[in-house]
Amino acid sequence: MEGGTGFAVELDRVTRRFGGVVALDGVSLSVREGEFFSLLGPSGCGKTTLLRVIAGLETADAGKVRINGLDADHRPAHLRPVNTVFQSYALFPHLNVWQNIAFGLRMKKVPAAEIERRVKAISRLVQVEELCDRRPSQLSGGQKQRVALARAIVNEPKVLLLDEPLAALDVKLRKALQRELRGLQRRLGITFIYVTHDQEEALVLSDRIALMRDGRIDQVGPGRELYERPRTRFASQFLGSCTLLEAALKRREPRRAFVDTAVGELAVAEAPADRERFTLAIRPEKIHLADNGDGSRENTIRVRIEAVVYAGAETHYELRAGSQLLRAEMMNTRQPPPGLAAGRDALAWLPPEALIVLED
């Protein structure tokens, strides 16, 4: 199944309904060959359904699915050049690790010598070669996940589909396996399509991310782009958390504009040409706090600190400026000024370039 388009998977207006529920609503998406691509979104947004449609485990009600440039709509799951790794591992309890890894190759009637070679190579790659005689019941969660990965990779799929494979693991192990998974994908060069609801996981692992909401794609791009320049209210709140400010255009200048907001007049680096009113977003780490000063600097506002929360690497501040609530964060690289305490007044600077104009 070779097409040579440069895209591993292409979806064209794919729709999937379950009774009166629209799980996928005209989704169009292209995943490049060799890319680590993540589907990110809250529970019920359609990301697992989309993965199952690609795998052939669900049939789309409308639209097209192409894998390696060729139509996959009428190909059953076992004839598609993809393999899936599930959160539940789905290992055969009566088979040992070696037999679990080799199972797909045996079903394809691959010669015994080739099975031996590939199982050994993959076992070494995912670091389970010392576990090959054990049954799944004798493995830890991390070991089971490595075996599940090995079983999928040994079939040499063009695309590996991963449905929240690390969600059942504890935080420390999950972070360790994230690094291993990213390195594994780089070494193999296989296209990975990864489902997760964990924003940090998506940012750490992915070349690009599709943020999903209500069966649709909200925004697609590299993690940095989605985080630094969200286009919608949903993107600004789901991937991290922004303060939103309603803005009314006052005047334009060649390189910036000025707007009225609940915290007063602010300068912004850009403003939409077709709207007089819009919403601004700003990340909490972009807001700079000081406990003294004259407040004459552009985009500096006086705030009341309502709460201070120590969060390890950062300290989080809840601020109020009139009717507007804001959130700020400061890295704990040094002792914060003593004046930045709950109940005290402070100055907050909102850099013009950090104010993002949203589309909705």
User: Is the same domain home to 65 and 146?
Assistant: yes
pLDDT for 49 equals 96
Res 245 pLDDT > 90: yes
User: Is the same domain home to 192 and 252?
Assistant: no
Residue 101 inside a domain? The answer is yes
> Among 165, 200, 229, which residue terminates a domain?
229
Residue 294 inside a domain? The answer is yes
User: Is the same domain home to 132 and 96?
Assistant: yes
Mean pLDDT of 353-360: 94
> Among 205, 229, 253, which residue terminates a domain?
229
For the stretch 132-188, pLDDT in tens is 999 999 998 888 888 988 888 888 889 999 998 888 778 888 888 888 889 889 988
For the stretch 254-279, pLDDT in tens is 889 999 999 999 999 988 888 999 99
User: Is the same domain home to 78 and 219?
Assistant: yes
pLDDT for 329 equals 95
User: Is the same domain home to 345 and 266?
Assistant: yes
Res 113 pLDDT > 70: yes
- CB neighbours of 195 closer than 8 A, spacing ≥ 6? 38, 39, 47, 48, 51, 161, 162, 163, 164
Write out the two tokens for 270: 């850009």
Residue 2 inside a domain? The answer is no
- At residue 111 the predicted structure's pLDDT band, cuts being 50, 70 and 90, is very high
CATH number at residue 12: 3.40.50.300
Other beta carbons within 10 angstroms of residue 348's beta carbon come to: 21
pLDDT for 223 equals 95
For the stretch 19-56, pLDDT in tens is 999 999 999 999 999 999 999 999 999 999 999 999 99
Residue 347 near residue 303, CB atoms below 8 Å: yes
User: Is the same domain home to 138 and 253?
Assistant: no
User: Is the same domain home to 218 and 253?
Assistant: no
User: Is the same domain home to 250 and 221?
Assistant: no
Q: Please name which of 52, 9, 56 lies closest in space to residue 29, comparing C-alpha atoms.
A: 9
Residue 209 inside a domain? The answer is yes
DSSP string, 59-116: --SEEEEEETTEE-TTS-GGGSSEEEEETT----TTS-HHHHHHHHHHHTT--HHHHH
Residue 1 inside a domain? The answer is no
**What's the first-to-final CA gap in the chain, in angstroms?**
42
User: Is the same domain home to 301 and 325?
Assistant: yes
pLDDT for 265 equals 95
Q: Please name which of 244, 264, 249, 265 lies closest in space to residue 325, comparing C-alpha atoms.
A: 244
Residue 193 inside a domain? The answer is yes
User: Is the same domain home to 253 and 287?
Assistant: yes
Residue 235 inside a domain? The answer is no
pLDDT for 57 equals 93
- At residue 3 the predicted structure's pLDDT band, cuts being 50, 70 and 90, is low
How would you classify residue 41: left for phi > 0, otherwise alpha for psi between -120 and 50, otherwise beta? Answer: left
CATH number at residue 294: 2.40.50.140
Report the predicted TM-score, pTM, of the whole model to 2 decimal places.
Answer: 0.89
Percent of the chain beyond pLDDT 90? Answer: 69
State the virtual CA torsion across 103, 106, 112, 116 in degrees, nearest 10. Answer: -20
Res 100 pLDDT > 70: yes
Residue 328 inside a domain? The answer is yes
> Among 229, 251, 279, which residue terminates a domain?
229
What is the span of the domain harbouring residue 143? 7-229
Q: How high is the mean pLDDT of the chain?
A: 91
Residue 242 near residue 322, CB atoms below 8 Å: no
pLDDT for 4 equals 57
How many structural domains compose the chain? Answer: 2
User: Is the same domain home to 212 and 265?
Assistant: no
Residue 348 near residue 301, CB atoms below 8 Å: yes
E strand or H helix at 310 = strand 300-311
Res 1 pLDDT > 70: no
CA distance 173 to 258: 48
For the stretch 208-231, pLDDT in tens is 999 999 999 999 999 999 999 999
pLDDT for 16 equals 97
Mean pLDDT of 298-314: 94
User: Is the same domain home to 105 and 164?
Assistant: yes
Write out the two tokens for 334: 């040094």
